[in-house]
Structure 1
């Protein structure tokens, strides 16, 4: 007999014993009721015949007629009440031994059933706890195995969990390897771009000296754009490879917002845009000042590009025990509904994107905040304008 069959038998046995005990107890009580009723009627007949011997034919006839009575005529019959008798007047000298054994048997059976259910549930809870602990270890990267020597109803589930975990490990390793290869390829492309861009800048300077022309400035702008693209690709490759150097030091939100704004002074002045940063006290988080400033520069620049001349880019910050929050918004027309789901996608350029943009700034900002245990979302304000919300969590 297999272990699984033994387990099933042990599981079913308490139910069988409990059902048998219940049936036996009911049958015993019914038999006891029949015996007591017979003894009482027999004693009544004996008393009648002892007092009136000649009434034996009438008594036998009455008993025969009593046997022919239906349940409807017997139920609720209170004929003796008019003579002052009650139901409990005929239940004297009732021996408790007649019901003690079935009651004890029923209690023992019920206790055995309850104990079996308790042990079964405790075993199930332990198996579930073991499987849960194993999955928790897998989720934190600790791995390990869960050894179960005996087969039970969870064995198949355990095997499937192991197969799924193994498959996920393999998929993860393949994804990590693919991401590493992508980051290396991206870095190689960026490095390969650097040399021809530098050469093109030098050639452009020589051309401007020998053959001045109106097209030189256009070429210079395109080369600058290529140079920004190369720098962004290098940064993306570092982020993907996990080699971007991020510090863990206290960063004051008011300070980093002002530094980001100061780096855009020339652009803001040329576009007649101002930045409003009200001071809200000293609120700090653990992160990297330089990279946080870089991300905020991209957000403020994006708001500036979508503001009308004379507009204002608003910045505010706050904090609580769980996270610090930064909000950056403008007074422009807001995001296009079709652009909202893709704003932070790499190389995505919306309908109203700046003509010299390459679609990397917002993606970089999101990556920088995520590396610092943060999140960033974008939405349109009800009063008009686009709004970025950043939360950097403490834990």
Structure 2
């Protein structure tokens, strides 16, 4: 299925903007990494200089203090030696130290631990600083994405919510595109709903215009039937009357399906007594089933109910009962049973007729589908209408073959 043109256009714009923002983000990250490296280098240099100065000062203080404590008269000589930097003094001192095996490595071993510890400490501080910055940036991105996601979710739930505006950032363009797309789609939806309402009104008007002459013709056929009841012409008139009734039912079913498609069919949600509803659905078929020598068994206990529309539930069950009666031979049985659980109320309609062909079961509820065992005058909308009416009331229906032979329809009306 293709995307809506607005979404395609917005998606292309957002893709280009995301590429631009990714490049900008990468440049910013590179600059940030460069700045952090410079700062870390400066901090490391300052720290190493401080550590080296501290070590040197400690060593000079130790040497000076040791010599001064033994020869106080050399105070001025010691101070002058510290102040003046003589190459000859360095060479003489180095020769003396090497003579007694005091080398640079000995002093390096003493100071290495202090320098390494200081360096690690500085880098840990730098790392923690970067981690804190990245964490805060990540949380900001998560908050922005969560805000946009929440906005889209509320729109999908049908809530008229204004997109909260924030400062300029990498998601600003996406935010603007989402808002424009939602506004356009909302306007498109409103126009579509208006079109559906106009269609439903037109269909209702057409159905009314069709029903008016049908009713007149039906009344005239009844009058004719009264006058020529016992003649051969009476059979033709009765035939016409039956076909007119069938045509009226077909027009009514098509109108109901059209209202379902247009979303203009209103259903109530009140407690429906299952036994009363099934009795109402079976009543129009009692005389027909008696003529066909069929038996209708209706469970009367225990009491059960569900939230739904009594009228449209009756219409749906009537179509299921008609289907069972039409495919059940003389002497057959049509059974209605039900039960209520904590999750749903289940109604089972089954017969002892010819049942379903296995290849027909997946298509039984498709409109205008006629199975292998369908009657010649069947249009194929009764089961489709029943399914639509049931699902409109938060119900589900499935068809299956009985183990003993015959058809079974299982309807579940869910509480939630």
> Structure 2 length normalisation: TM-score?
0.67
Contact 1:247 1:288 in 2 (8 A): yes
Distance 2:41 2:352 in 1: 81
Query: Residues 48 and 235 (structure 1 numbering): CA distance in 2 closer, same or farther, change over 3 Å?
Result: closer
Partner of 2:194: 177
Contact 1:21 1:106 in 2 (8 A): no
Classify the secondary structure of the residue corresponding to 2:396: strand
Post-superposition CA distance 1:308-340 (Å, at most 9, x none): 433333444334443323232334443345544
Which of 265, 268, 287 is the aligned partner of 1:266? 287
Is 1:229 the counterpart of 2:282 in the alignment?
Answer: no
Matches within 5 A, 1:134-149: 134-149=151-166
Unaligned segments of structure 2, at least 5 residues: 1-19, 52-93
Matches within 5 A, 1:141-290: 141-205=158-222, 207-208=224-225, 209=227, 213=233, 214-236=235-257, 239=260, 244=265, 246-278=267-299, 281-290=302-311
Post-superposition CA distance 1:136-164 (Å, at most 9, x none): 22112223332444443333443443354
Give the root-mean-square deviation of aligned CA atoms.
4.2
Shift of 1:203: 3.8
Partner of 2:349: 328
Which of 319, 328, 352 is the aligned partner of 1:307? 328
Shift of 1:373: 2.2
Post-superposition CA distance 1:63-104 (Å, at most 9, x none): xxxxxxxxxxxxxxxxxxxxxxxxxx9997456431232112
Instruction: Judge which range, 372-381 or 3-12, deviates more.
Output: 3-12
Query: Residues 350 and 9 (structure 1 numbering): CA distance in 2 closer, same or farther, change over 3 Å?
Result: same
Matches within 5 A, 1:44-193: 50=99, 93=110, 96-193=113-210
Query: Residues 51 and 248 (structure 1 numbering): CA distance in 2 closer, same or farther, change over 3 Å?
Result: closer
Instruction: Judge which range, 201-210 or 132-141, deviates more.
Output: 201-210
Shift of 1:124: 1.4
Instruction: Count how many residue pairs are aligned between Structure 1 and Structure 2.
Output: 347
Distance 1:283 1:15 in 2: 71
Instruction: Judge which range, 382-391 or 177-186, deviates more.
Output: 382-391
Classify the secondary structure of the residue corresponding to 2:161: coil
Query: Residues 207 and 265 (structure 1 numbering): CA distance in 2 closer, same or farther, change over 3 Å?
Result: closer
**Displaced runs of 4 or more, over 6 A:** 2-6, 17-28, 45-49, 89-92
More helix by share: 2
Classify the secondary structure of the residue corresponding to 1:327: strand
Distance 2:282 2:365 in 1: 21
Distance 1:159 1:382 in 2: 60
Contact 1:197 1:227 in 2 (8 A): yes
Contact 2:196 2:263 in 1 (8 A): no
Contact 1:187 1:237 in 2 (8 A): no
Is 1:393 the counterpart of 2:410 in the alignment?
Answer: no
Distance 2:275 2:219 in 1: 41
Shift of 1:300: 2.0
Unaligned segments of structure 1, at least 5 residues: 33-44, 53-88
Instruction: Judge which range, 308-317 or 123-132, deviates more.
Output: 308-317
